[in-house]
Structure 1
Amino acid sequence: MRWQRNIKENNIKCNNEHLVHLSNPNISEMKEDFLYHFNLGTGTHDLQAMFGDVKFVCVGGSPARMKAFISYIGEELGLAQPGMDHPNICEGTDRYAMYKIGPVLSVSHGMGIPSIGIMLHELIKLLYHAKCSDVVIIRIGTCGGIGLEPGSVVLTRQATDSCFKPEFEQIVLGKPIVRSTDLSDDLNQELMECAKEINEFNTVMGNTMCTLDFYEGQARLDGAFCSYTDKEKQEYLQAAYAAGIRNIEMESSIFAAMCGASGIKAAVVCVTLLNRLKGDQISSSHEVLLEYQKRPQKLVGRFIKKRLGGKA
């Protein structure tokens, strides 16, 4: 197939600068590296044979959503067969789910910064051990919009914290380490072109606020605790909008920071389920929400197909 031929040609041109690199000298000294939360390891699996052809990694919160995505992309690339199932490569652990078809890997990451952070450590190591090159990682998911109608898709320029600062702070050995949260402008431009070609839903670029909590951390009024007024909430969200923030979720800052620190091009593509300036609770029907959730998949699917040379 064309995608296989394209990958083979690209691999011939590839040099060490295009491989995934780790910023940890200890890994190369280890006799075996066991990726505990994936239930995969260098001593038990041939990771290069299993994953060496991976060029696109798509990650999202829900195992069901990521299985649906791998089925969708299989159809788009012409790799699916009637009755084809996609087994969970991480079977044996209930932390994350992983699916693969052709050059595409689909991985769930759970909810929140700690969960996606653990997954990314092991994913980046997996790509390193598999000697993958020229890899793109894209997070697809849902979010709350700010000043956007439900169903809008947001491409993240920068991820910010709850104070609107475009950085991610990690405490290491009791000291703060601050990393950039910029995402690939080149990828965003490619994705925006794909959105224009699809021309079925509103797609915008903007900053994304990443919070540590779904309720108070996102200025909701409907949590178990609330120490602020509706007026204060509106002032905060309006200030976020003025700072260029167009959506709120819970994973983008560490995702951008870790991919950037690893030299991996990355993007965040999320669909809004509500406009937070108009309320806190999601009121759309189940059917409408399912359709919304397919929009990032459709956009990223078109991007992957174009990258691989069109039709498989």
Structure 2
Amino acid sequence: MDTQNYDLPALFGDVKFVCMGGTKYRMREFADYMRGILDLPRDTKLVNLTKHSHRYAMYKAGPVLSISHGIGIPSMTILLQEVIKLMYYARVRDPIFFRIGTSGGLQIPPGSVVVSSWCLNGTLEKTYDIPVLGKMRHIPAYFDKRLAQEVSSAAGLDGFQAYIGGTLAADDFYRGQARLDGPFCDYTEEDKMSFLKKLAGLGVKNIEMEATAFAAYTREAGVRASDVCVTLVNRLEGDQVTPSKATLLEWQQRPMLVVGKYIKKYLSYQNK
């Protein structure tokens, strides 16, 4: 998409919420879910607006843009920066960004939802670190506190617990997350447990692979944002995800439920 061949304000000017997640299937499901709870027409097929890119999928459901971002910080930040540009060219005012996904939990029951308030990188600093012009930049990685509280309260009585806390964003799924089940492991079970307990003592509730950069770039852009993830395992009890496929599928709906409730409530107040 570009500004010469597309009327971006006409296409995206009504967007209020940008929701991002790992896979195109999850984000298509989220867009369809939002059509339902916002009472939007569902008699037409959802269209992937970026299908010709063969990289990401983007669906629009009224004021909600639902986009896949792949796995990890590099993939996510490419998309995030392009969407920030898209919102600028579409003249969208004060959009709210969400990232929904899965994670490993720390000292909380599997199936819980974590709303991140701040993030740690792999060296346990509250920054997203990126080399620019040969020098390392350290960008603060904090989320909007008020938004985190509002989103957490939207969980309501849905049969699962929601927590606000810190998130460790790792650059690697195995050693970066202190796992013992990867192809390389040069530390012991005791080393792993000491590290995970240290994280828990710092207030970290979950571990995933995107939150620091998501927090840093949205904050730098002046955009309110929230990272909402369900936990699939308590990492203090093991590395393997053991629940059944049916249970995992149900758990993966939970961030959608929380964010969907928040969006519906927000729009209902705006329309009064």
Q: Taking structure 1 as the reference length, what is the TM-score of the superposition? A: 0.85
Matched, 1:117 2:77: yes
Match of 1:87, SS state, is: coil
- 2:91 corresponding residue in structure 1: 131
- 1:28 corresponding residue in structure 2: none
Q: How does 1:49-198 map to 2 (within 5 A)?
A: 49-82=10-43, 84-196=44-156, 198=157
Unaligned runs of 5+ residues in structure 2 are none
- 1:278 corresponding residue in structure 2: 237
- 2:268 corresponding residue in structure 1: 309
For 1:268, which of 210, 217, 227 is the aligned residue?
227
Contact 2:149 2:164 in 1 (8 A): no
> What amino acid is the match of 1:226?
C
2:254 and 2:158 mapped to 1: Cα distance? Answer: 11
Match of 1:309, SS state, is: helix
2:100 and 2:42 mapped to 1: Cα distance? Answer: 25
Q: Taking structure 2 as the reference length, what is the TM-score of the superposition? A: 0.97
Percent pairwise identity: 45
Contact 1:305 1:311 in 2 (8 A): no
1:193 and 1:212 mapped to 2: Cα distance? Answer: 30
In the alignment of these two chains, the number of paired residues is 271
1:211 and 1:59 mapped to 2: Cα distance? Answer: 18
CA shift, 1:310, in A, is 6.4
Match of 2:154, SS state, is: helix
- CA displacement 1:127-179 (0-9 Å, x = unmatched): 00000012000100000001111100001010111222111111000011111
2:53 and 2:137 mapped to 1: Cα distance? Answer: 31
2:10 and 2:193 mapped to 1: Cα distance? Answer: 52
- 1:251 corresponding residue in structure 2: 210
1:182 and 1:50 mapped to 2: Cα distance? Answer: 31
> What amino acid is the match of 1:54?
V
- CA displacement 1:104-134 (0-9 Å, x = unmatched): 0001000001000100110000000000012
RMSD: 1.3
1:245 and 1:162 mapped to 2: Cα distance? Answer: 12
- CA displacement 1:230-274 (0-9 Å, x = unmatched): 111000000000011010000000000000000000000000000
CA shift, 1:311, in A, is 11
- 1:47 corresponding residue in structure 2: 8
> What amino acid is the match of 2:27?
M
Unaligned runs of 5+ residues in structure 1 are 1-39
1:163 and 1:169 mapped to 2: Cα distance? Answer: 10
1:68 and 1:115 mapped to 2: Cα distance? Answer: 21
CA shift, 1:42, in A, is 1.2
Match of 2:49, SS state, is: coil
1:43 and 1:290 mapped to 2: Cα distance? Answer: 42
1:43 and 1:153 mapped to 2: Cα distance? Answer: 42
> Greater CA radius of gyration, 1 or 2?
1
2:79 and 2:68 mapped to 1: Cα distance? Answer: 8
Contact 1:109 1:119 in 2 (8 A): yes
- CA displacement 1:69-128 (0-9 Å, x = unmatched): 00001000000324x311100011111110001100001000001000100110000000
CA shift, 1:225, in A, is 0.5
- 1:12 corresponding residue in structure 2: none
Contact 2:128 2:138 in 1 (8 A): yes
1:50 and 1:219 mapped to 2: Cα distance? Answer: 44
